Amino acid sequence: MSDVYVPPKVWAPTESGGQFSGVNRPTAGAREEKTLPEGEHPFQLYSLGTPNGVKVTIMFEELLEAGFSEAEYDAWLIKIFEGDQFWSGFVDLNPNSKIPALLDKSGDTPFRVFESGAILMHLAEKFDYLLPKENPARAETLSWLMWQMGSAPFIGGGFGHFYVYAPERYQYPIDRYAMETKRLFDVADQQLAKTEYLAGDYSIADIAAYAWLGNLYHGAYNRCDIFLSLDEYENVGRWVRAIDARPGAIRGRLVNSQAMAERHSAKDFDAIEDRSLFDPVRKKADV
């Protein structure tokens, strides 16, 4: 008998195992009729403190740090391992059932925005912040934003899944996605050797990429920074540490996390007991 998997002529869903097996299905749509809560602020965010979720909370906190008081928001926790993303209320905001999802109530007619990159662009354009209006700076910023959006599945669903979440470890997929993750770090490292931030000035492209690259650089996925030798990317390290210290990034990383499940006011940060989480120098995870 061989352990080599031979695909059948027609694929049929089966129990895959692993941490996401309880929510993975080959169909879309709501699985439970349940509405979402709403707060009083102009923006209602439904998310989780994963890299894609952190992009948006950092953006909101950067806007508030810059003095845009109209950017006040409520951040509600969506527990993806429990299937909250399949509530009918959430599916109404994002038919793809992925966090983050945003309800913009700032105008006369509320509307949804889903996909983290789309939310970053929407907020940047609405407040005219962190996205240049004119080319070539605008084109460069959007190019790096889309680079991150296109590369995230290789890091998360690729490397992260097979290195940590898969029920069994196999060398081929780990090698394949480790190689691609390192290549992506090298792309960023070579760019950051020429510019302070990815597109020159700090922008939504940096927020998007930092949420992923910074997470890995600081030891996500069971200290993958050691496994992937990420310290060798010195320009990425310099860039990560610079964003680490930004007040908006510090606060944004804490929203929808174990430190602060929901955020409805700036005063919510005062209730976080571990004040070391606000240090400008971010520490790597423990081995």
**Could you tell me the pTM of the whole model?**
0.96
Gap between the Cα atoms of 35 and 46, Å rounded? 12
All domains in the chain, ordered by first residue: 137-253 (1.20.1050.10)
Task: Give per-residue pLDDT as tens, 213-265.
Answer: 999 999 999 999 999 999 999 999 999 999 999 999 999 999 999 999 999 99
Q: What's the rounded mean pLDDT across residues 121-138?
A: 98
Q: What's the rounded mean pLDDT across residues 91-113?
A: 98
CA dihedral 175, 179, 181, 185 (to 10 degrees): 150
Which helix or strand (DSSP H or E) is residue 102 part of? strand 101-104
On the question of pLDDT at 1 being above 60, the answer is: no
The band of 23, judged by pLDDT with boundaries at 50, 70 and 90, is: confident
Task: Give per-residue pLDDT as tens, 38-62.
Answer: 999 999 999 999 999 999 999 999 9
Report the helix count and the strand count for the chain, using DSSP H and E.
Answer: 9, 4
Pick from 70, 71, 50: nearest CA to 60: 71
